[in-house]
Structure 1
Amino acid sequence: MSSPLHTDVRLILLSPQDNCLIAAARLEAGTEVEIEGERVTLSKAIDLGHKVARGALAKDDKVLRYGAVIGHVTEAVARGEHLHTHNLESDYLPTYTHDAGHEFVHH
């Protein structure tokens, strides 16, 4: 019998505050994993280093990795679902702007 908080060793929690886990191996679609005591069947393949939802997330929920906000989900996400560009948007702001419409003219 496993501990109620047992998580598959192929999924790494980087910080206790994180709501995503990192795949330590490529996991094929249909693979069954355990996340904090709950068995989840992966609906899509998860590549090495990609993020998986630690728990269910609602649209616009912030995603934390290493305890820091890295973005927000653009749709509801189930526990064990792949977090990537199709449902995760970065909250990083550019540090500068570039307006291609303005050119410097030397006289």
Structure 2
Amino acid sequence: MKLRELAHARAGDKGNISNISVIALEAGDYAFLLEHVTAERVKLHFADIVAGKVERYEMPALGALNFVLHDALGGGVTRSLSLDAHGKSLSSCLLELELPEHHHPPNR
């Protein structure tokens, strides 16, 4: 299954750093996201474009994860000639992350 089936995402940037927030659509899916959407998986998913480290911050009260991708925007917004200098499309790309099947609780 794709991450987009359980979450939505939003990307932002600061210089050559991109951050992507992944927010569970249902509160009950947050623990599954914690287990399967790790910094290592995100780094591997973006291996072709993220040269630096990937950090994950957990926000359980919001049911969200925030990923900080260092050295990810080809030099930064003011220095890059890329079409998506701000990296806004990275959130859509992350939602394509393949996850194991997730069986929802019966009360869903």
TM-score (norm 2): 0.26
TM norm structure 1: 0.26
The higher radius of gyration belongs to: 1
Using CA pairs below 8 Å that are at least 6 residues apart, which structure has the higher relative contact order? Answer: 2
